[in-house]
């Protein structure tokens, strides 16, 4: 496992340099299945595709259904089927990047395979990891899967419109996050209803600005 992670890390650094040289922001989106990451991408592309140059790398175990949902935005999409693998790695991302024109790209969104464990262990060369969790999953995810939340650049707490119908303890969720990653940005959303999306987009564009300024 150490050898695998070392090889992955080396390629990740190569990916990161290529992205940095081209001024491209890459967001590695990690969540459990059904947390809402594809819907978040739909809302994001809907808002930004007219003024920013976007691309998507879609990771899935067997199908391209998520990629098909994004085709309506007429942006470059590269689908990766892992054929049972539980995560994307830096080598698959490197190959996917070869199919994108980085010189005419501002942001690449990577929709990773749906789980909170393996994807967090593999650096893709991304600018930051975005953890997406939803209220119906429960408030214990940071304490149960601390690696993801210790490495994430931001957390989206989605489906907050369902809070009145669950026993989700927002205070406990935030307390666990602060213990793991004290300065972590948390954005509360109900993406299917458009709630909180503007805050997410504003934060995302500030990160793109940081890349451009750097």
Distance, in Å, from the CA atom of 110 to the CA atom of 27, rounded to the nearest integer, reads 6
Q: What is the pLDDT of residue 1?
A: 61
User: Domain total for the chain?
Assistant: 1
Among candidate residues 156, 157, 191, the one with its CA nearest the CA of residue 40 = 191
Domain of 168, CATH number, reads 3.40.50.300
Is 85 a residue whose pLDDT tops 80? no
Percent of the chain, pLDDT > 70? 95
Residue 54's domain comprises 2-213
Single pTM value for the model: 0.94
Average pLDDT over residues 36-62: 93
Predicted confidence (pLDDT) per residue in 101-144, tens digit: 999 999 999 999 989 999 999 999 999 999 999 999 999 999 99
In order, the DSSP letters of 57-116 are EEEESS--HHHHHHGGG---EEEEE-TT-SS--HHHHHHHHTTS-GGG-SEEEEE--S-S
State the average pLDDT for the chain: 93
| % the chain with pLDDT above 90 | 84
Are 57 and 80 in contact, with CB atoms under 8 Å apart?
A: yes
User: Predicted confidence band at 60 (pLDDT cuts at 50, 70, 90)?
Assistant: confident
Q: Would you say how long the chain is, in residues?
A: 214
Mean pLDDT of 152-181: 98
pLDDT confidence of residue 68: 87
């Amino acid at each position: 496992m150490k050898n695998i992670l070392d090889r992955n890390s080396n390629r990740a650094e190569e990916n990161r340099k290529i992205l940095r040289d081209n001024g491209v922001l890459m967001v590695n989106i990690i969540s459990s299945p059904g947390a809402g990451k594809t819907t978040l991408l739909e809302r994001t592309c809907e808002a930004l595709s007219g003024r920013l140059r976007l691309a998507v790398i879609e990771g899935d175990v067997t199908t391209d259904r998520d990629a098909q949902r994004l085709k309506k935005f007429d942006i470059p999409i590269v689908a990766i089927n892992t054929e049972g693998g539980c995560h994307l790695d830096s080598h698959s991302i490197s190959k996917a990047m070869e199919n994108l024109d980085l010189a005419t790209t501002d942001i690449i969104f990577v929709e990773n395979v749906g789980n909170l464990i393996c994807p967090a262990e593999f650096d893709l060369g991304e600018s930051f990891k975005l953890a997406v969790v939803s209220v119906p999953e429960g408030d214990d995810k940071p304490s149960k899967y601390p690696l993801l939340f210790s490495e994430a650049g931001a957390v989206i707490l989605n489906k907050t419109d369902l809070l009145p119908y669950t026993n989700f303890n927002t205070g406990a969720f935030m307390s666990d996050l602060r213990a793991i990653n004290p300065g972590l940005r948390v954005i509360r959303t109900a993406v299917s209803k458009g709630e909180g999306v503007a805050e997410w987009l504003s934060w995302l564009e500030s990160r793109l600005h940081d890349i451009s300024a750097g």
